[in-house]
With several copies, the nearest count.
Chain A
Amino acid sequence: MLRLEAAVPEFSPVPTVSTTAAFLANVRESAGLIRLDVSLARPVPFAAGQFAMVNLAGEHSLVFSRPFSILSATEERMSFLYRVVGRGTAALAGLRAGQELTILGPLGRPFPGPGAVGGKPVVLIAGGVGLPPLHNWLTRHGRPGDLGFFGGRDGQDIPWQLLDERWQISVDERTDIPAGREAWPGRVADFAARHAALQGAQPRVVFSCGPIPMLKAVAELAAARGWACHVSLEEHMGCGYGACKGCVVPVVDDGGAGWRNATCCVEGPVFSADEIRWDRYGKPAVPLPTIEG
């Protein structure tokens, strides 16, 4: 099995493929996180941070496919990591052996590759289902000095098997920590800020993916230290490939308004943290207008 990921160490856009895939397994990685393994009808080379639109094939397909970051892939297989939050993820959790899926991917702009971080060590900060793109980056590109942080609610919430010694773990409540593993109390961004390895003058690059409050905290941390910061935004998506404008995020713009809508699925999902107009994010972008369509 050729590992395709190695073929795209830096991001040079690879064509997006529409393919079918067969369900292989749902593997529980933590109380809330399930790893989905599928067998691909066609290879889907991708860069860390890219995602795929996933759906059931045939008559039970959902009206919209769902975006999921790619956790890992070979020519024949692909894995995702997800949490059941609604109709689509419930359908994934209910898949049976051999059931067919559709995959459209890879999509979106990935995290910068190792050659694009100016030789600086990378700090990866993940929460919950924000893990896949960062996990993929560290697995493919990680060098000594690169450091991962993962935050969860408690020990049950941590996908211990996926997180090797390169990952530092924090939890809100220190319960259910397996023997031989460590987890620090507190929010992951605070924990990273206090972490010994991140003190000192060494400039770093931060990659983050997770809930918006976490991303904001990470962006502030990076800004305070003058570090470059890239965040992956999990905005609602309709198409995933720029067709519908259903996934906009407010970004800085030189034009009159000072901001504009960026299309998360094609301009992102990875953005430089200082591009994002955090003050407008998650709020009505314009006074409620009188038009629809």
Chain B
Amino acid sequence: MALQLPAWWKIDPTAPFELGPRRLPGRIWTASGCFAYGLTGHDFAAPGFASPYEGLGAVVTKTVTPAPRAGNPMPRLAETACGAINSIGLENVGFDRFCDEVLPELERRGVPTVASLAATRPAEFGTMAARLHRVAGGFAHWHGVEVNLSCPNVAEGGHDFGRDPATVAECVAAARAELPDRALLAKLTPNITDITELSGAAINAGADAVSAINTVLGLEVDLTTGQPVLPRRFGGYSGPAVLPIALAKVDEIVQKTGGKVVGVGGIATATDALKFFALGAVAVQVGTAQMRDPFAAARIARELRPG
């Protein structure tokens, strides 16, 4: 049952590592949107685990936007044969409550945190980063920011916000300017012809790493009605089905862009995570699998400890 670790695997993913100006406690993270704000499940128990947070390198919190969002209509989820399609619509408490309530509570509980941010104008990333720095600059457990550049249709100026390398660079640069001592990641969309244009732009603009991938556009049909299951028709496809796509994107980025990659997409087991590390990822994030099993990331972290 226990995974036989391959000979080339020598890293302890629960040991600290440097990411840009910051030292993070480990390489197995949870992905944004799949483990809420890192405040859920603290009292959950599983055989051998005191909590789902054991061994986690970071919780990437649910993306927050400058103003709170109510999100999309229900249903927001469709399950397919080997994946999930979501259309949550970035429901979130808003950046103010995130700063005032969420981050301090994460600090109190000692949850290693990477804050995921989205906005509609590049400059807002700077404003938000600056405020985080003011509020949480002294926190021991706030390690960085992931700018979520992977939502279609948020830009005021059109639908290519996160697909336009120049805009990606602007957003990253704005956040970087205000984040002297925290890790900065740019989360990229796979729904683009050439992801390396985005990764190159992000790294050049100062991101310490890119996170790849966000969800793939997907659709599920309700056969009874002949209509899409989700009210907005399409949604973001994730889970085991997207693993090979995520691996391909990560490989492309590693091969063509000088810069670090955090792998995300379809990871449910230690084996899946190893595939990203094999391609050169410096850390990985567990998304959909974390929804099924709050201990998914913790189990992977434990299984990947050599010896």
- Mutual binders A and B: yes
In the complex with contacts A41-B47, A246-B88, A288-B295 CB distance below 8 A: no
| Interface assignment of B19: CB less than 8 Å from any CB of chain A | no
* In contact, B293 and A18 (Cβ under 8 angstroms): yes
Identify the closest chain A residue to B232 (Cβ).
A288
* In contact, A244 and B45 (Cβ under 8 angstroms): no
* In contact, B293 and A238 (Cβ under 8 angstroms): no
B167 to chain A, nearest CB (A): 16
| Interface assignment of A63: CB less than 8 Å from any CB of chain B | yes
Residue in A235, A245, A283 whose beta carbon sits within 8 Å of that of B73 in the complex: A283
Residue of B63, B89, B295 with most partner-chain A CB within 10 A:
B89
Known pairs A104-B44, A293-B86, A293-B236; list 20 more (Cβ under 8 Å): A15-B45, A18-B49, A53-B292, A62-B292, A63-B79, A65-B293, A104-B293, A236-B74, A239-B292, A241-B41, A241-B294, A246-B76, A285-B74, A286-B73, A291-B153, A291-B154, A293-B33, A293-B63, A293-B118, A293-B151
Identify the closest chain A residue to B116 (Cβ).
A293
| Interface assignment of A200: CB less than 8 Å from any CB of chain B | no
* In contact, A293 and B89 (Cβ under 8 angstroms): yes
Identify the closest chain B residue to A286 (Cβ).
B70
Q: List residues of A (225-283) whose CB comes within 8 Å of B's CBs.
A: 235-236, 238-239, 241-249, 257, 260-261, 266, 282-283
| Interface assignment of B40: CB less than 8 Å from any CB of chain A | yes
| Interface assignment of A139: CB less than 8 Å from any CB of chain B | no
**3 pairs of A and B residues whose beta carbons are closest in the complex:** A284-B73, A18-B46, A239-B291
A286→B89 CA distance, assembly (Å):
11
| Interface assignment of A165: CB less than 8 Å from any CB of chain B | no
A67→B293 CA distance, assembly (Å):
13
| Interface assignment of A184: CB less than 8 Å from any CB of chain B | no
B193 to chain A, nearest CB (A): 16
Q: List residues of B (61-89) whose CB comes within 8 Å of A's CBs.
A: 62-63, 69-77, 79-80, 82-84, 86-89
Residue of A13, A239, A283, A293 with most partner-chain B CB within 10 A:
A293
A292→B76 CA distance, assembly (Å):
10
A48 to chain B, nearest CB (A): 20
| Interface assignment of B25: CB less than 8 Å from any CB of chain A | no
Interface band, chain A = 35 or more
| Interface assignment of B152: CB less than 8 Å from any CB of chain A | yes
- Determine the main DSSP class of A at the interface with B: loop
A255 to chain B, nearest CB (A): 9
What residues of chain A lie closer than 8 Å to B294, measured between beta carbons? 18, 104, 239, 241, 243
A61→B153 CA distance, assembly (Å):
34
- Determine the main DSSP class of B at the interface with A: loop
What 0/1 pattern do residues 291 to 307 of B give for CB contact below 8 A with A? 11111000000000000
* In contact, B82 and A63 (Cβ under 8 angstroms): yes
What residues of chain B lie closer than 8 Å to A65, measured between beta carbons? 292-293
What residues of chain B lie closer than 8 Å to A288, measured between beta carbons? 72-73, 231-232
* In contact, B36 and A238 (Cβ under 8 angstroms): no
B168 to chain A, nearest CB (A): 16
| Interface assignment of A4: CB less than 8 Å from any CB of chain B | no
| Interface assignment of A42: CB less than 8 Å from any CB of chain B | yes
* In contact, B83 and A63 (Cβ under 8 angstroms): yes
| Interface assignment of B214: CB less than 8 Å from any CB of chain A | yes
Residue in B76, B80, B118 whose beta carbon sits within 8 Å of that of A245 in the complex: B76
| Interface assignment of A89: CB less than 8 Å from any CB of chain B | no
A266→B40 CA distance, assembly (Å):
10
* In contact, B295 and A292 (Cβ under 8 angstroms): no
| Interface assignment of A55: CB less than 8 Å from any CB of chain B | yes
| Interface assignment of A118: CB less than 8 Å from any CB of chain B | no
| Interface assignment of B211: CB less than 8 Å from any CB of chain A | no
What residues of chain A lie closer than 8 Å to B290, measured between beta carbons? 239, 243
B84 to chain A, nearest CB (A): 5
What 0/1 pattern do residues 50 to 61 of A give for CB contact below 8 A with B? 000101000001
* In contact, A18 and B45 (Cβ under 8 angstroms): yes
What residues of chain B lie closer than 8 Å to A18, measured between beta carbons? 44-46, 49, 293-295
* In contact, A16 and B70 (Cβ under 8 angstroms): no
B49 to chain A, nearest CB (A): 8
| Interface assignment of B34: CB less than 8 Å from any CB of chain A | yes
Residue of A13, A63, A292 with most partner-chain B CB within 10 A:
A292
| Interface assignment of A17: CB less than 8 Å from any CB of chain B | yes
| Interface assignment of B277: CB less than 8 Å from any CB of chain A | no
A86 to chain B, nearest CB (A): 9
* In contact, A244 and B291 (Cβ under 8 angstroms): yes
